[in-house]
Structure 1
Amino acid sequence: MSSFALPTRRLLAATLTGGALALTVVACGSSSSMPAMPGMDSTSAVPSMSATGTATPMPLMSGMGAMSTGDGLAATSNGYTLTSTTTTLPAGKASGYRFTITGPDGKPVTGFTVDQTKKLHFYAIRSDLTGFQHVHPTMASDGTWTAPLAALTAGTWRLFATFTPDTGAGKGTNYVLSRTVTVPGMPMDTALPAASTSTTVDGYTVTLTGDLMAGMAHPLTVTVTRGGKPVTDLQPYLDTYAHLTAFHAEDSAFAHLHPTTAVTSDHGGPTLAFHAELAKPGSWRLFLQFQTAGQLHTTAITVHVS
């Protein structure tokens, strides 16, 4: 498993089962209202792993924040390392995962650029792509972060940290690093749901439409409805109306991009635009997060990229 800094943008094409979908994968949000559905388990922990390999970082893109491509499957990239002594986390109860981000000089990094209102975003995903959690850790003055994780189920988990240093050699570069942890017990894996173009959560229907072509980036449109009627009361959440995060079915590779729909008022929807960049063929599990009436909704949908 190799960690990576975000390399120079790679535009990839994808033909999606159940309809061509242009995907913009975004990171963000904690899953406070996770529905009970296959592939969506609110518990999250992640197995520990060492880094192997590096990647070339990608600079910030004007107008779109710190965008990233690559798979994030390593703990070290371009001299930056996600460091932790934790290799196991308890099952069935909330826990805190402590870690630091060290720079090329081996010292903890304490200066980060704010991205979508946070200095660092943290994700946990189980190896079968259930148990998704997106949380925002707190950092102590010495650079030690603590990520608050909800109860975890037995199995192997991968933990991702996304951040942009505001000083040093990596200034302005968005990094995605990860480690794994093990949660003891008898793992009960869930089969990946079939690919689809729509899903529901808390009474809302989310539909994906778009078009992807090989070697090119295309827009993805996400439409949110309820009871067959357009939803227009999406509230800003972490400086956007919705967030998409994707994980590859075979290796849990991470994809995270910002939406292209700007926040212009307290109410958004029903359609939201994204920009697609999925680097690998195969099945991906997308996690969409949006907020209405102060409640965060999180749903998941599988797409197939050829």
Structure 2
Amino acid sequence: MSVFSRVSPRRRTVAAASVTAALALALAACGSSKDSSDSSMPGMDHGSHGSTPSASASSAPGMDHSGHAGMDHGSMGKDDGLSDTKYSYSLVSDAKELPAGKATGYKFKITSPDGKPVTGFAVDQTKRMHFYAIRSDLTGFQHLHPTMADDGTWTADLAALEPGTWRTYASFTPDSGPGKGKDFVLSRTVTVPGDAKDTPLPAATAGTEVDGYTVAVKGELKAGTAGPMTVSISKDGKPVTDLQPYLDTYAHLTAFHEGDQAFAHLHPETKVNGDKGGPDLSFHAQLDKPGNWRLFLQFQTGGKLHTAALTLRVG
């Protein structure tokens, strides 16, 4: 969501004519509205409650790299998550600060081009909403699945947060209206008061360890170019072959760009076959921004979710 270019079973194709026409009408109707975007497809500011938009742009609503409507999978050149508004859909929250050092609930709504809260969302990887939070130094990663009240208010139950500036992301797909079938990633920032001390980003590496598992990444990615990437998982020197499905796949990979916190996520192309995943997971990846990316790979074994983190350098 720059984003990895993804091929995922969750995304469905929407007829080109109907989606393009509907989005065009929505843009025309909302062209004079006062939101954080302009009519030329603004960038996404993933972070501030009261965030200012960045300069990311998209060529046409609902269009993927090949020009097919309804197939924008969130490739970074078009949807890096650095805005609270896209195509007049907005992430809205009254929260400007969250407490430090204790669990808290973050409340937000998604509003549609008519300004009303969206209450109908398509199921995506078994969930109607995926929510992420990360601090500005790319620490404290949280991936949650909030709950929604009848009025469209979502509540994400965050674990304790360290002081600093945090960016919160909402990933969803409306199941009605002009954005039906289109993937969105919107974000804002929120402040956690206190003595904020940044943690230096770990150096780029091809592997890391978590909970006794070794995770190795193979593949040299060039900015703006899609290419193969393989993640291999082992334990005690032996290949792991008992990965369990997590959100209908064997791994969930989230990435954040150093500096601007551009967002990306990808699921492996490896076919799910019961609790027999691994050791190798294949990805078709594209990161459009050069520099360091912090990757968070989530996978499950024995009913336990593991989160491995490493830094990847993109040339």
* TM-score, scaled relative to structure 2: 0.79
Amino acid at match of 1:143: G
Question: RCO higher in 1 or 2 (8 Å CA, sep ≥ 6)?
Answer: 1
From 239, 250, 261, give the equivalent of 2:270. Answer: 261
Gaps of 5+ in 2: 9-46
1:293 corresponds to: 302
Amino acid at match of 1:168: G
Deviations 1:96-126 (A, max 9, x none): 0000000000000011111100011000000
Q: CA deviation at 1:262?
A: 1.8
Distance 2:292 2:153 in 1: 35
Within a 5 Å distance, the mapping from 1:97-246 to structure 2 comes to 97-213=106-222, 215-246=224-255
1:67 corresponds to: 73
Q: CA deviation at 1:145?
A: 0.3
Q: CA deviation at 1:130?
A: 0.1
1:284 corresponds to: 293
Q: CA deviation at 1:58?
A: 4.0
Distance 1:227 1:10 in 2: 31
Q: CA deviation at 1:183?
A: 0.3
Q: CA deviation at 1:47?
A: 4.9
From 248, 255, 277, give the equivalent of 2:257. Answer: 248
Distance 1:92 1:227 in 2: 35
CA contact (8 A) 1:160 1:179 kept: yes
Distance 1:267 1:66 in 2: 31
Distance 1:208 1:106 in 2: 43
Distance 2:196 2:290 in 1: 27
Q: CA deviation at 1:279?
A: 1.8
Gaps of 5+ in 1: 1-5, 12-23, 27-45
Identity of counterpart residues, as a percentage? 63
Amino acid at match of 1:199: T
2:91 corresponds to: 82
Distance 2:209 2:62 in 1: 35
Q: 1:216 to 1:251 in 2, by over 3 A?
A: closer
Q: 1:243 to 1:10 in 2, by over 3 A?
A: closer
Distance 1:243 1:233 in 2: 16
Q: CA deviation at 1:48?
A: 2.6
Distance 2:223 2:163 in 1: 38
* TM-score, scaled relative to structure 1: 0.81
Distance 1:51 1:169 in 2: 24
Q: CA deviation at 1:50?
A: 2.4
Amino acid at match of 1:270: P
Amino acid at match of 2:216: T
CA contact (8 A) 1:47 1:88 kept: no
Deviations 1:233-285 (A, max 9, x none): 10001101111100001111101122211212222100001111112111100
CA contact (8 A) 1:222 1:272 kept: yes
Distance 1:66 1:266 in 2: 31
Deviations 1:139-164 (A, max 9, x none): 01111100010000000000000001
Richer in helix (by share): 2
CA contact (8 A) 1:117 1:238 kept: yes
Deviations 1:170-189 (A, max 9, x none): 01110100000000100011
1:34 corresponds to: none
Q: CA deviation at 1:129?
A: 0.1
SS at match of 1:280: coil
1:3 corresponds to: none
Matched pairs, number: 267
Amino acid at match of 2:147: T
After TM superposition, the structure 1 stretch with the greater mean CA deviation from structure 2, 255-264 or 205-214, is 205-214
